[in-house]
Every structure is written in C-alpha cells, then in structure tokens.
Structure 1
Amino acid sequence: MIFKRFFIGLLWRIVLIIILSTALAYCLVQIYLANTDAIYWLIAVLLFGVIFYRGVNLFYYTNATNRKLTRFFDSIQYDDFSIKFSSDNTFGKSFQGLNKQFNKVLEAFRKIRAENEASLHLVNTIIQNVQTGLLLYDQYGRIELSNSAACKLLGFYRLKNITELKANHLELADKLMVTEEKHFLYQGLNGIQLSVNIVAIRLGGQIKNLVSLQNIQSEMQQKEVEAWQNLTRVLRHEIMNSLTPILSLIGTMKHIVDTELPATANDNGAKGDLQEALQTLETRGIGMINFVDGYRSFTSIPAPSFAEVNMEPLILQIMNLLQPEMVVANIFLTVENKAVDQLIQADAEQLSMVLINLVKNAKEALEHTVNGTIDIKSFAQNQFLFIEITDNGPGIEPEALEDIFIPFFTTKENGSGIGLSLSRQIVQQHGGTIKVFSKPGKGSRFVVQLKIKVVPNTTANAYV
C-alpha cells in the first residue's frame, strides 16, 4: 500500500480537499464572470459533491480512535472479549501499540472471567456435594440458593420460598422467618434431628440469611448408646460387687446350718425352713448375677470385622434358616431383592444377627395375627443399600415407638429390652442407621440403611 502511515493518509486527504476547494472556487469565479456557461455549473456541482464526500471520509478517518475506544468499552460492558483489534495496524507504530494494549486488556479480562467461572463452578460443586444442607434467602423469604442436601433433609425437590416449608415443617419455617435465635435444634416429622445455624450476611446492600442444616441424628444416637453403655456398665459393676459377698455369706450360712446346727425334735421344722430360705436366696442371687452378666454383650460388643459382603446371598441364607420356624408358626415369609450384586463393607456375622433379630421380633409380633406375613425387601438408592423388614401385625403404639431402641425397654412379658438396642449399635458401627415406622393396627416396618461400596469404573477411566 502507498499510505502506510496515519499522518500521510491524513495529509493527502487534506491536500486533496484543498485542491478540490480551489477548483471549486475557480469554477464559482468563472460562473460569476460568465454565468451563462453551463459547463462550469456542472463542474462546480461535481466538485462540491466530491469535497463533501472527502470531508465525510476525513471525519471518519480522524475518528477511528474514538470508534475503537467505543468498541473497546462496549466489549467490556457486555462481557464480549472475543474482539481483536488489528485492522488498522498498517497506520503506524502508534496504532499497533494501541491495538496491542487493547488486546492485552481484553485477554486479561478473558482470563479473569474464565477464573471466576471456574471458581464459581468449583464452589457450586462443593455446595451441591457437601452433606450439610445450605439455604440462602432474603428478608422476603425468597430462596436464592439451596443445595441438594437441604432439599433431601427437608423432603423437597426444589424450594423457591421459605413459606413452602410450612407444608411439612411449620415450626421450622416460622423460626427461620421471625426468630432471633441463631442456633437451635429441630426435630422433623420423620424423626430426623437437625442442628440449624443462621448467619446474617450483607450482599449488594441487602441483608440475607444463610442457614446451615446438619443432620445430627446419628451422632445423637451414638451419644445415647454410649450413655446407656456407661450407665449399664456402672450398674452391672455395683450390682455384681454387692451380690458376690451376699452369695458368699449365704453359702457360709448354708454350711453352718447343714453341719453345725443340729436338728431337734421340738424345732418345728425351723432348720428345714431356714435351709429352704437360704437355698431360695442363693438361687435368686445366682439368677440375678446371670441376668446382669447377660448385659455384658450390650456394653462390650466386639468391633466389626469388615469385609466385602454381598447382601443377596446373606438374606437368602437367613430366610432359609428361619423358614422352618415360620412354617411352624403359620407365617408367610417373602424376600424381594432389588439390590443384586451390591457390595458393602460389613461384618457378615453381626449383620446376620441384626436381621435375624428383626425377623424374630416380627414373628413374635404376629403371634395372634391370622395370615401373618413378613416381607424382606432390599434395594439400592443414592449409593445406599436399604433392607426393609415389614410385618402385618398389630403395630406399635406411638408412646412405645419413641422408646423402642432404648436399652432395657420392652413390651414383651419375657423380653430383656436389649435386642433392638444391640441391633442399632451394630448398625451404627457399620456407618448406617436403623429406623422403625409403625401405626397401631397397620403393622411395622424396620429399615436398615447401609453404605454401598463404590467400585471404581476402570473401563470409563481408560478413555479419560
């Protein structure tokens, strides 16, 4: 190109306009002197048009930088960083330097936006995958952020406003909207225990509330079991310490009565009565020791020996073991396994003990039920394995339902109240939970929840 410099391009445009203006002036003078000559009129009109065109061209040429600045700021305003400034690099080093700086600034904005998007994606991924439920809402109750854990804990698919919680969690909704408490405990309708923490933050000049929901049910159950274990351990220790010397004294007294206290004709059977009383005391004392010693299993359960366990054959084995008892009791036992080939890390012996205990409890509950049935169902959902044991018995009264896992609590005449407590303790040591659902006259359903062992997908990783 001939014009490689901005000032050269500007110079020839100005010179051309001056030459054209001079020619136009000459034509106008000739028209003034000889106004009948039409050729000068035509030339003057053409020159005026060319001068106007060249003037407009000069205006746009000299305002190229302003247009460039406008495009630059528009790209920043509308987050359009795909623009490249290079079309006027031929105008000289000053234009090349300006374009280079514009492109550097836009590239910096591109990197910042990419980093912000990556950070936002990371934060959103963390928020959606943490086990703590999170809710962010404004003063009108509009929920601006909620993660999957919060929806799962509260039993909703999606939340748009705090008022939607009133359908299932009226007390919680009221507290979130009007309470001044920053931390409180909440128990849902399904028995779940939540620790609720509220933090007020200022965003964009507005006050918003960030709520964290932590499921502390398993922790509370663990603390409850530990408390009962400590109490049982202390009671057992004190009772054993008291009964042992008493039994020793009873044995000494029996020896004295048997060997050193002669029977006389006029004792009216007093020696025999004394021997019988001492024998009764000894028998009851030994029975009490055996009874108290039987609770040792609750306070000293061995740690699980974890291994890979497939629950399908384990459940079938339990069914085959208990089937003869069910036939004798005229109870129909069924198994529905929808968790085929699902592996868990567990102690097979301890889990068998839990499931056998639950099935036997259901069997005892069906003692006076006609056409009794027990259904064992297993299925997998959200990386968890669920085992349900359901019966069609008389159900459990609401007041007893709250205490059913408390040690020593029982509704049976000859029950010890240890079976369900021991079962819950075993399940907790496996990192799971056990729940009961029952209504009087509608049977009972025990649900054991355990984590599924995640097997790495080596085939998928090979293509990454």
Structure 2
Amino acid sequence: MILSKKRIGVIAEILFLLLVTALIVACFIQQHWWWGIAGLPFWIYAIARIINSTEKTDKIVLEFVEAIKYNDYSKNYNTAQATGDIKKLLIGLNSITDRFKTINKERKAESIYLQTILETVGIGIISFDDNTGAIDWMNESFKKITDIPYFRNIGALEKRNPAFLDLLLTLEPGQSQVFNFRKGLLDEKLLITATFFTTNGKTDKLVSLQNVEETLDETESIAWQKLLNVMTHEIMNSVAPISSLADTLKKQLEPAENGANPHIDPDDLRLGLETIKKRSEGLQRFAITYRNLNKITKPVLKKVLVSEIFDNLQNLMQPTLDQKNIELDVILKDPFLSIQADTSLVEQVLINLMTNAIEAVKSSSHPRIVLSALIDGEKACVKVADNGMGIPASIAEQIFIPFFSTRKNGNGIGLSLCKQIMLLHKGNIQMKSKEGEGTVFLLHF
C-alpha cells in the first residue's frame, strides 16, 4: 500500500514537470517571452520537488543501514512533523530498530547468564586461538585449579608448566586424559578434555579441566578393597590348611611325654609334607600370576580387518567346538569392517571370552556361541554371545576383579586381563547377562 501511494506521488510530480515544461516551450515558440520566463520558477520547483523527495528517502534509508551496520540502535526518527509516505517509512524503521534493541538485550542477557554459569561452575574452562595461541576467554575456576593468573597467550605456560602446555596443544577433540598437575608441593589429578569450534572463520580450541583427585582416590580405594577381599580369600584358602596340617605334624613329632604318639607313620608324614608343598606352590603361582598381570606390554596398534581376526579365532577354536558339539555362528555383515588394534592382544581377549563361553554352554541342550561385529554409533563393536546359564546379578560387578572366578579350577585372571587389554586400546569391555538365557560380552574399539 505504501509503495502504491509513493508511486502515484512520483508519477504526479513527473506529470506536473512535463506539463510545466510543455507550457514554457509553447510560450517560447509563440514568442510569448514573458510568459515563458514567468513559468521557469514553476519548472525549477517541480524539479526540486522530485530531487528532494528522492534524496530524502535515500538519506533516511542510508542512515538506517549505516546505524545497523555498526550496531547502533539509539536512532529514533521523529514522526511528529513528517507526513504521508515519509511518516509511514519512519514509523516502520522505528519498529525495526525497536525489534533490534529487544533482540540485542536478549542476547546480552543470555550471554551474561551463560558467562555467570561458566564462572561459577567448578570446571576450569579456557578458549584460545588454535593458530596463534591468543587467549579468548578463561573462567575463574581455571585460574583457581591451575593457580595461574590471567595471561594473554597460551604460550605463557611454557615457563610455568611445559608438559601441561604440550597436553593442551596436542590433545585431540573428543579425547580425555588424566594429567598429574604440580601445584605447589602437591600433585593433583586433572581430567582434561578438548574440543574445537569455528566462529567467523577463526578456529578456537576449548579445553575443560576438572580436579578428579578425590573421585579417583575413592574409586581406587573401592577397587583395592575388592581386590584385597579376593586376594585374602585366595591366600587364606591356602594358608589355613597349611597351618592346620603343620600343627598336626608338629604334634606327631613332639616327644611322648607331651602326650603325643611317638610312633610316626612315614606315609602320613610324607603325605602331609607333600600337601604343604602343593599348597605352597599354589601360593607361589598365585604371586607369579599377579605379577604377570601387571606386565602387559603396550599394544602396537594398526588397522586390521575384523574378518581376519575372526578367521584366525575360528581356525583355532573349531576343533574344541566340534569335540564338544557346540555350534558357532559368525556374523559379519561388513567384510571390510576394520579396527585399530594389536592383533595378538585382541585375539587373546577373544580366546578368553570363547573359552568362558564354551564352559558356560556345557550344560545347554543345544549349545551355541555367536561371534559378531558391527558399527555401534561411531565405534566398532565385537560381540561374543552364548546361550548358557548366564551370570547371577549378585556377582556381575565382580567378574572383572583379578582372581575372582566362579569356576573351581579357574584362576580369575582371564576377564581381568581382557579388561586391561581393552583399556590399553582406549576401548572398553561390557557384559550383559540374564540367568537361564545366556551372556553377551561387548568389546568397543
């Protein structure tokens, strides 16, 4: 509607100019010089009207655009003296300015709100230019946790803590790492995580760090309690009979005046000493096993096809499976699925899981083991499933503890070893089980 009225006004002014021009030209042709000269002011007035109307609108629009360009929302046009289309234009521009003011206030309020949250959380946060190292922002928690005041460039950490600086620069997006941070005379464990984000063509690195000393200490304490309970149980199982048997033999060897039988049966003595020897050797093997559990070599990671690992495992385990009449199903929908892994260590994990599965299905009427692999989210997942009796929920949390075993002849090392190997691969191992239906072990790489 505004454009239509504006167009009509411009057309009217042009027609008026043409009319005045035609009359002046006609007067000069008819040699009515004074009438022609008298018409010139009207002709000038018509041109001035058109120029003024166009320039006024352009000036208002250009002023408005310039103000918006520099985020200046203070301009408010006076509409009291304006008329017609100009007044409507000014009212419209004022409405747009008011809307920008509202949006700007909301953005500032949101920014203050978020910054207040980031300043009050107990997690240290720092953002810096990934190319120049210039600090964009850091919160108070970062300064408090690191005991480092504000600095302008991440490179300033070189003199204070070069190892910390190296980790901040090299930590890949999505990765987390625990770092021992020296603070005065104390070492604190910091969990450090990094991510990248791009704004206005500039790539920034956002690093968060959290003091996890107390959490790790508590977790470590619980783990030690579980381990010591199992180790105490294993040691007492050997020490108690050794102590009892040694006491019995001691009494048999005591002089007759102490009330003991002076007639010693050599066979009983030999049997007792042999039993003590066996239990002592068992304790020695227990100690050696524990020592070896902590000597797993660092994995040599390389890209390997899951199908190759499955083929090697099947060739190794098939004779045992055939002997025990156990059905093995291998499911691999993507024959080119690969993982970054140490082949020998991963095969060791799968052999342990397959051995456990073979033991689990021995009482099943139709024993079956399924070996499969797929992509779960962004990670490769290898599964070993069986249709055995399952693992009771009461002991499910203990199966990865060293030396814990549900089998009489088990040493409780297998699953603990599997977990350590998966941790070395930056992956994890999980177990899902339902009594009477079976168990599934999942390896995420």
Q: TM-score scaled by structure 1?
A: 0.46
Structure showing greater radius of gyration is: 1
